[in-house]
Amino acid sequence: MALRVVFMGTPDFSVPTLRAIAEAGHDVAAVYTQPPRAAGRRGLELTPSPVQREAERLGIAVSTPLSLKGDEEQQAFRALQADVAVVVAYGLLLPRAILDAPRFGCLNGHASLLPRWRGAAPIQRAIMAGDAETGVMVMRMEEGLDTGPVALTSKLSIGPDMTAGELHDELMPACAALMLEALAKLEAGTLAFTPQPQEGALYARKIAKAETRVDWSWPARDVHNHIRGLSPFPGAWCEFEAGGKPERLKLLRSTLADGAGEPGTVLDDGLTIACGAGAVRLTEVQRAGARPVAAPEFLRGARLSTGMKLS
């Protein structure tokens, strides 16, 4: 028998899970997502979230509350009489009244191997820290941030040059498949939970603009992990001199390289840059207002020569 589900999610990452639940025949009573936000070149047009667009395509009722703390919103949620709420990157805290409303509580699809990387940016933080492995987990939600007991885990290796965008795209279908497995076990009465260990918990705080600039004094491996962990969004960056003034350059891909020199120095005509220890080769970059390009194309226009410095 199909479950009656409330789905709660917002970004692209959440969409495959919503689609899979609907296609599996579960009764999706409603979708909760973040309200439309200002977007576009001038920031004037209100744009619905990817989850809202998918819900509307599927013909599912959408709710976009600013908060779930009020009595009216909580009563409306309880009135849905859900068996379970499925939460994937929703973006709002769920108060106790919401967590307790569904018959089987709330299941969260989280993109890390808990307790490592609880919080808002687990994909980026895993790569920035140089982790070799991550995954997705289905957990039962509690009032604490990603502290609930875990039911299912799917692990994934992180390649040495993999970007956050690439990892995001691999984890999306993995999350959808794992959540379908969890719902099947929930229906069968066989979904079991194991408390998270207390050791090894790390908080994956939201990426701040202030930390996106590359620090060339870091060791090469840290610089490389920083670049790929922030690619493609929000993007690590540095500045180079163009026409006698500094120009911002977004760094999208890199690889570790041989070389040494003053941090930030261009070491060759292949865009190898010296770091505090070792060097990285920049392989894909983006100038302000331009499209991403491979390093050779960038160098044809920028004409960075050996010995010049990036800052």
The answer to whether the CB of 219 falls within 8 A of the CB of 207 is no
CB 138 within 8 A of CB 150: yes
Q: Is 50 annotated as a binding residue?
A: no
β-strands 245-257, 236-242: how paired? antiparallel
113 is in an annotated binding site: yes
How far, in Å, CA of 81 to CA of 193, rounded? 23
* C-alpha torsion sign, points 40, 43, 45, 48: positive
3-state secondary structure 86-128: EEECCCCCCCHHHHCCCCCCEEEEECCCCCCCECCCHHHHHHH
Does the annotation flag 217 for ligand binding? no
Is 202 annotated as belonging to a binding site?
Answer: no
**Whole-angstrom Cα distance, residue 311 to residue 301?**
19
Give the list of residues 6+ apart from residue 279 with CB closer than 8 angstroms, or none: 220, 256, 257, 258, 259, 260, 261, 267, 272, 273
DSSP codes joined into one string, 134-176: EEEEEEE--SSTT-SPEEEEEEEE--TT--HHHHHHHHHHHHH
CA separation (Å) from 76 to 51, 169, 309? 20, 34, 59
- Residue 48's CB is within 10 A of a number of other CB atoms, namely 19
- Distances in whole angstroms, Cα of residue 163 to Cα of each of 128, 168, 175, 229, 254: 10, 9, 18, 6, 10
Element (H, E) at 272: strand 272-274
Residue list for the binding site for (6S)-5,6,7,8-tetrahydrofolate: 112-115
Residue list for the binding site: 112-115
